[in-house]
Amino acid sequence: MTLAPPNIGIISQARMTSTRLPGKVLLPVAGQPLLHYHVQRLRQSELPLYLATTTNWEDDRLADFAAAHNIPCTRGDEHDVLGRYHQCAQEHGLDVIVRVTSDCPLIDGPLLASCVREYVRLANPYLYLSNVLRRTYPRGFDFEIFSRQLLEEAYQRATLPSDREHVTPYIHQNRSGQVHFRHSSRVPDRSHYRLTVDTTEDFELVKTLIEQHSADQLDADALIQLLDEHPELVNINAHVEQKKV
């Protein structure tokens, strides 16, 4: 008997009410909202893409964006992001979930796809594969890959508000004791670079990279090389501290 290939989907979470930079995912760069670049780069993975946003009226604009770009959109409680992921996975029958966040406009779709292929090859429903627990990539290329089985367990058992808001702590803290880990990493380590957008300085860097260096056309290695060669760009947001989970 041949098993059917798993139904894999990327779920990107988004909301307009970010505390440090409200409305950041729709801020314009070169005539397009940041979310446009996020979506276009994820589509290079050739994996189905879904948007998970809230039922807040502020996020009607995100639902409208999703509809205009033929992206299925799941809406749920603002603070229960885990619930939104679970709902989206159920609605679309996903067996494998790739979690990303919409504040990463320069995420590398082919890099993500190669790690999904590795995940599928290993065929382990208890596997959690990511590049976030052992950071070597800049923030902004973040992804997590896990099974519907692990998501279901987290949804049923995770009770802390931080568990619900941040989706995967129950999984990556291995509270079940059954999770296996695999890490996507690169040499040399460039985890101190920031290509995520959480502050005005982050936005300034990404805007400069796209408008002056065509960063939306570069893969992860080329982007990292660009930052290596231009420390003045790195300095734009080098002082920004990541929000603590």
209 occurs within a structural domain: no
Is 199 part of a structural domain of the chain?
Answer: no
pLDDT at 198: 95
Asked whether residue 89 is assigned to any structural domain, the reply reads yes
Claim: this prediction has a pTM higher than 0.85: yes
Q: What is the pLDDT of residues 57-104, one digit of tens each?
A: 999 999 999 999 999 999 999 999 999 999 999 999 999 999 999 999
Please provide the size of the chain in residues: 245
What pLDDT score does 1 carry? 37
What per-residue confidence (pLDDT) applies to 4? 61
CATH classification of the domain holding 75: 3.90.550.10
Residue 200 lies in a domain: no
Is 206 within a domain?
no
- Based on the structure, what is the number of domains in the chain? 1
The DSSP secondary structure of 145-184, one letter per residue, reads EEEHHHHHHHHHH--SHHHHHHSSHHHHTTTTS--EEEE-
Query: Per the domain annotation, does 222 fall within a domain?
Result: no
Other beta carbons less than 10 A from residue 181's beta carbon: 14
Ranges of residues in the chain whose predicted pLDDT is under 50: 1-2
In-domain check, residue 95: yes
- The pLDDT assigned to 241 comes to 79
Read off the pLDDT of residues 143-164 as tens digits, 9 standing for 90 and up: 999 999 999 999 999 989 999 9
Beta strands in 86-245 (DSSP E): 96-101, 127-130, 144-147, 180-183
Residue 217 DSSP class: G
Is residue 148, in this structure, part of any structural domain at all?
yes
Structural contact between residues 195 and 237, judged by C-beta atoms closer than 8 angstroms:
no
For residue 182, give its domain range. 8-191
Determine the pLDDT at residue 14. 97
